[in-house]
A = this chain, B = another copy of it.
Amino acid sequence: MLTINRKTDYAARILLHLAMQPPGTTVTVQEAAQARLVPYPLARRLFSLLANAGFLKTHRGKGGGFSLARSPAEISLLEVVEAVEGPVALNRCTVEPQECPLVSDCPVHEEWVKARDVLRDYLGRVSFQQLAERAIQPRNHPDPRGGAQ
């Protein structure tokens, strides 16, 4: 299956969680991990990674946590994927052409490159601002007791 790995998915959940808070809010790993169903020790590592990658500011010590270091409007899904997962390569030859002895004469190579570009372009246009706005809409969980008004 051609797919991002679970850690990348978790990281996206975590950043979405941050993006949905009022600007400047500090969130603990505990809280986000529970809210987004990420195993706590893994969430620890992912928060660190996202902080080291410049997405988050850290606040150490009691009462600390993490807050966004950049505006959600300026964080794309692509950046997060590549921070956790490494490059969206589609095929190794797009990243390490020198390792494929056929590459200079391979008509498939350029299609891997173009397909990768199409995918990166799409993911690069999805911002966490958009995602957060969409999530904030009233939920579609019909209340068993009746209407939601």
Contact = CB atoms under 8 A, between A and B. Distances in A.
Interface residues of A, number: 46
Contacts of A89: 1-3
A33 to B, nearest CB: 13
Given A77-B108, A108-B13, A115-B123, A101 B37 contact: yes
Nearest to A137: B107
Contact of A85 (B2, B77, B86, B118): B2
A95 B1 contact: yes
B2 A88 contact: yes
Nearest to A20: B107
Contact of A131 (B13, B111, B132): B111
A12 interface: yes
A45 to B, nearest CB: 19
Interface centre among A2, A77, A89, A105 (most CB of B within 10 A): A2
A123 B119 CA distance: 11
A90 B4 contact: yes
